[in-house]
Structures are given as C-alpha cells and as structure tokens.
Structure 1
C-alpha cells in the first residue's frame, strides 16, 4: 500500500506504533520497523543518556526508519532534542506541549515532525507551526487523553476537513477492521498503542501484559480530569483516584496521590494494585501476547479481508 503516510516515512504499511512510556524501547521500535510499520522509541520514560542508548541499539537492530516520541513538557527536553540531532534520528513525534517551541528547530535539521493532538483547535495550530502530519487521538486511547473526550469516530473527520497535512488516527485502533474504519473516516494512517504494549518485545512488565489481555469491557476508566486526563485499568490506585474525585479533590490533591514514578511502578515494575496502569479501551479485545511482527501482520491481513468484504457489498 502506498499513500501519503507510507511516502512521508518511507515505510511499507501506514501503521505507526505509539511511543508509550515504559513499553516502547528499542526492541519494540525496531521490531515494528522491521515488520514494515514505523516503530517509535518513547522518550517520556527515559533519561537523556538512556534515550541515546536506545537510539543506538535501534539503529543496530534495524535499517528501516524509526522515530522518537518526545513529550514537550519533559524537564530535559533541550538535552533530548540535542541527542536526537546528534544521533541522526530522522523522525520525531512530539506531544504534551506547544509544537511551536521545537518544530522549527527540528525542521531546520531536516527532521520530519509529527505532533499529537486531540482537538481541531490544536490540530490547526500544529499545522501552522509547520509539522508534517498530526496524530489525532480519540477518547478511547490509553494514557494521557484529550480534555474534550471526543471519540475517534467524531474526531478524525472533523480534523480531516480542516487540515491539508496528513492525519494519523489513534485511539481504539487495534485491529484491521478498526484501521479500515479510520481510513474510511479520512485518516491517512493509524497509530496503535495498546496492541503493541502486549507484544513480546514491549518493555512492559509481564504481569502488566497479562493484566491487559485479561481485561474486559469497562475495565478502563478516564481519571484525573482536573490534572491531566489519563485512561487507566481498574486497580487499587484507580479506585483511590475515583474516590478522591467523587469527594471533589482538586488538581493538587490528585498530584499528591499520583506521586512520583507511579506509572513505572505499575507498567514497568509490575505492581498491579498500587501502580498506574495506562491502557486503552481496546485492551478488552486483546487476548494474546505475541511478537510485534505477528501483531502487525495480523492487523494488515484483517484490513485486507475487511476491505475486500466492504468492496463486495451491494447497495
């Protein structure tokens, strides 16, 4: 398949692996890239020199394009950006901040820039800043989420109608059928997180992966809306947050409850009760831990079958 996204990134399939904290190290990124998608190293959970190590290992593990995701509110963002330039990274996905702060710098270095947004207002701002594409992330997504709580089904056509640059759909996409639906809505490609979080190459703790594949409908909730909305699996920590919110907790109280390294505790260290377990609604559809290449190939084959089925319908 060839379209604006495969051409932009020089990849085989318009499938991007999300840059998830504590899941997206060099092993996962290189595996997805080798399978024909675009793998992403998630810098949000890495100290600068750790990121440098992951970039170098990824370059040794694949000759295919890969990217780095950088939350722009990261405290060491300047050092991170300099490492990206020094190590010759060609694609950056920015998130959680103003793209105007770094897009120009990256573009001057010949780097392709994509920014993650959750509403039309910021999509237009990102386009005006000169980004090459946007990821439009709907309410179903895991981890940090948009305050508007707009679903992917509504978000993609609204943004597509406003932008000239390519749009990558994210949120609730973990199958070939969902990928076809996103492209039917106008997306040029898809970004997939949760389905790759349970890949064998994901750096997530095995207990977290098993908790994901045993999840059922309703097991994720959007919490901490007064701080930064985040979709979590139900556990003791999530219940504590839910109770605090029901009692009218403010942002400062929620920040104290969150504390430090809560996501690392759950997703990387495997504390399934006290840790923060970030994952999307699509977790209820995930039933198996397998290699990233098998996940990507399965999504693509299902996409082709669904495409053929739709084409054969008579109206």
Structure 2
C-alpha cells in the first residue's frame, strides 16, 4: 500500500489518500465488495444505485460496504433519468443513502438540479459528471461540490461532442472554480501526473478497472480485457443521440446497422441494448451480446490484479513521470526560478 504522493482539492474534499476515483461500472457491477476495495486502497468508489431496485437489497449493499471499509466514507452513483418515474426512483435512493450515512454521490444523466437540495441538506458531497465544459458551468451554478469531466475515450457514455480527455484536462480546470476530475482513456500513473499538471484535481477510471480481482464478473471476461488493445471499442446509438462506447460484439454490430440506417425508433434498438443482456455477459463470460461498456484504456489492463495492486502500480508510475519531468527542466530555467524566489 503506497503512501500519499499527491494532495489535491479532491483528496481533501473526499478524505482519500490518492486522487483516484473509480466510476460506476454499470448496474450491479460496482457492488459493495468492489467499492470497498477501492476505498481501502485509498481511492473513492461508487455503488451503482440503479443496480439494486429492491430497497432491502440496496440497504444491504450499503451496510456491507460500510462494514468492509470499517466505517470509511464511500460513494453511490445516482443516475438522473428524464424518463417517467425516474425522479421518484432517485428520491427513494437518496432517502436510503441518507439513512445509511453515505458521504458522497456521483450524479450523471440529466441535470442534478432536482436532487441538489436534498443532498446538500444531508451534507452529502455531489460530484456531477459531464461530457463538456458547457455543462460544468451549469452544474457549478447549482451548487455541486466537484465536476467530473469525461472525454471521448471513456467507456460508457462520452456525450455527443467527441471532445478528448486531453482537451478537457487542459480546459476544464482553467474555467471551472471547483475541484475537477478527468476521465476517459486513463489507466496509468503518468496520465494521472499529466492531468494534475494541467490543473485538475484527480482522475476517474472505469475500463481499466474491469480486471480487478474484487469484481464478481466472470474471469473469462477479465481475460478478454487483458488481451484487448482498445481497438475493440466502438461508439453506438449515435442515431438516437445516446452515444455509448462499448465492446464491438454482435449486439454492437446490430446497433451500428441501425445507426447507419438512421433509425430513430428506440423499439428497434431495445432488443440489443437491454441491461439484462450485459448482466448475463458479465455473469457467464459470453461477450457476444449486450452493451458492454468498454474504452481504449483496456490497453493498460495487463493482468488481473487486486485494486490495491493496480493503485500501487499507478502511484509508482506517477512518481517516475514526475522525476522524468523534473529531469527535463533546463539549468537556465532552474537558475531563473532560484533568482525569482530569492527576489521574492
């Protein structure tokens, strides 16, 4: 277990050792065992509330995570749906997480406006996920505590604009006066060091973590991720404006055909995008069907390892990157800096 290398606004906000967040990996994937492993390794993880529709099961997951973390703070992912009944479901989830003493939430989907008041009143920190700076400004005005910006490389939902993580990392922190976390295509410590150097306060990972030992998903799926080089990633559901970066499989090919035909009737997509297909794939290891979130950062997932081992590798890699950058600084610049400091 590595000691703290970076102190940022996000480590202070969340009370964590490393500026590493692990986002919700889909309904039922990010469960109590995985999130607890992330927290115990020094980061912050989020149980996906949408994966546990039964209130008793949701309560049980939160209780188990608190037990496994020995009372350390952990998070919950809340999806703000525009569909009928969506806000009522989130309100019930918020009631439960307040009862269980959850410290922070990762909100995604529609505007967090309907839930900000209740969460702030309960003292729960809000990290809102956006695919572009324009949405970050809106969320900041609502009173969220932090912004998560994901670039086009992220597995799952990268948004409509195709903005790279490199641009988000350089632009976002310069115009948003909140702790900023960057995600999308990130899986190494040197990327973390680069993101922090550009002004961000942390990183968030998804695809890179699909090989974590603590995840319950089938071992053959994890081995597929280890073998992957990122070229198996494709963006689907473009025709209906719900861009989704997934593993290229039979379901993805069927949806790509609908996209190419410019079909906008969701009922034609439904048989290929049902969540039950993805859950079955994770359960059985048969990855031929289902919308399986999958980004190019799988190229960094070189072996099945514990969350703690993954984090340790990243911290070591970040330290090497910092030493390399320091070694590239010219003596003239070092002398100028010394003279400036002396004059000050």
User: TM-score normalized by structure 1?
Assistant: 0.95
Deviation, 1:276, is 2.0
Number of residues of Structure 1 aligned to a counterpart in Structure 2: 315
Separation in structure 1 between the aligned mates of residue 147 and residue 197 of structure 2, nearest angstrom: 17
Separation in structure 2 between the aligned mates of residue 292 and residue 181 of structure 1, nearest angstrom: 22
Structure 1 stretches of 4+ with a deviation exceeding 4 A read none
Q: CA RMSD, aligned part only? A: 1.6
Residue 11 of structure 2 aligns with which residue? Answer: 6
> Which runs of structure 2 are paired with 1:48-197 in the superposition (5 Å)?
48-62=55-69, 63-73=71-81, 75=86, 76-197=89-210
Deviation, 1:256, is 4.5
Deviation, 1:236, is 1.1
Separation in structure 2 between the aligned mates of residue 85 and residue 303 of structure 1, nearest angstrom: 36
Deviations 1:40-89 (A, max 9, x none): 21223221332211110000001322111111118321211110111111
Is the CA contact (8 Å cut-off) linking 1:267 and 1:276 kept in structure 2? no
Is the CA contact (8 Å cut-off) linking 1:89 and 1:111 kept in structure 2? yes
Indicate which of 282, 296, 299 corresponds to 2:314. 299
Matched residue of 1:190: which SS?
strand
Indicate which of 41, 49, 68 corresponds to 2:47. 41
Deviation, 1:260, is 4.9
Matched residue of 2:214: which SS?
coil
Answering whether residue 241 of structure 2 is matched by residue 233 of structure 1, we say no
Is the CA contact (8 Å cut-off) linking 1:224 and 1:245 kept in structure 2? yes
Which structure 1 residue ranges, 5 or more long, are not aligned? none
Matched residue of 1:58: which SS?
helix
Is the CA contact (8 Å cut-off) linking 2:209 and 2:301 kept in structure 1? no
> Which runs of structure 2 are paired with 1:13-28 in the superposition (5 Å)?
13-21=18-26, 22-28=28-34
Indicate which of 298, 309, 317 corresponds to 1:283. 298
Which structure 2 residue ranges, 5 or more long, are not aligned? 1-5, 331-344
Deviation, 1:185, is 2.1
